[in-house]
Amino acid sequence: MFAPLTWFLVALSLAAALFAVVLAARDKRINWTLLGVLGVIEVALLAQLVVGIVQLSQTTRDVSGPFFIGYLVGSLIILPIGAFWALAESSRWGAGALAIACVVIPILELRLYDVWTA
């Protein structure tokens, strides 16, 4: 696995989650800045998918392919659904729900790392 990209994803997702929590605490809805950050994360996740598939095809490690690919593909749908769910809410709780979605990304990245190093 390409560690710098994984850590970048973990760090940026946690930052986005924190941003969403701050918005919720200040009684604000999600804004374009946060959606822009989510866009960057999504592009990085796509890159991670490509990197992951290439590395999986070349590795001699005993990696569980279905779980590995599952985490890579699964991570792509979290933020779009989370953003949709947050935008459809007119209160601060929308930003709170998006924070949950953002926290899921680092968890998936760590699970991905576990599967890779198992």
Partner 1 sequence: MTDPAATKHGPGRILIAVYGVFALAATARAGVQIATKFSDAPIAYLLSAIAAIIYCAATFALAKATKVSRKVATTAIVIELIGVLAIGAFSYAVPDDFPDATVWSHFGQGYGFVPVVLPVLGLLWLRRTR
Where on the chain is the footprint of partner 1 (CB under 8 A)?
A: 66-67, 70, 74, 77-78, 81-82, 85-86, 89, 91, 93-94, 96-98, 100-101, 104
* Distance of closest approach, residue 4 Cβ to partner 1, in angstroms: 26
Coil, strand or helix: which one is 34?
helix
* Whole-number Cα distances in Å, 96 to 26, 75, 100: 11, 19, 7
Cα separation of 100 and 86, whole Å? 10
Whose Cβ is closer to partner 1: residue 8's or residue 70's? 70
Whose Cβ is closer to partner 1: residue 3's or residue 118's? 118
Class of residue 90 by CB neighbours under 10 A (exposed 0-12, middle 13-18, buried 19+): exposed
Whose Cβ is closer to partner 1: residue 12's or residue 24's? 24
* Distance of closest approach, residue 75 Cβ to partner 1, in angstroms: 10
* Distance of closest approach, residue 89 Cβ to partner 1, in angstroms: 5
Whose Cβ is closer to partner 1: residue 3's or residue 53's? 53
Q: Output the DSSP codes for 41-89.
A: HHHHHHHHHHHHHHHHHH--S---HHHHHHHHHHHHHHHHHHHHHHHT-
* Distance of closest approach, residue 93 Cβ to partner 1, in angstroms: 4
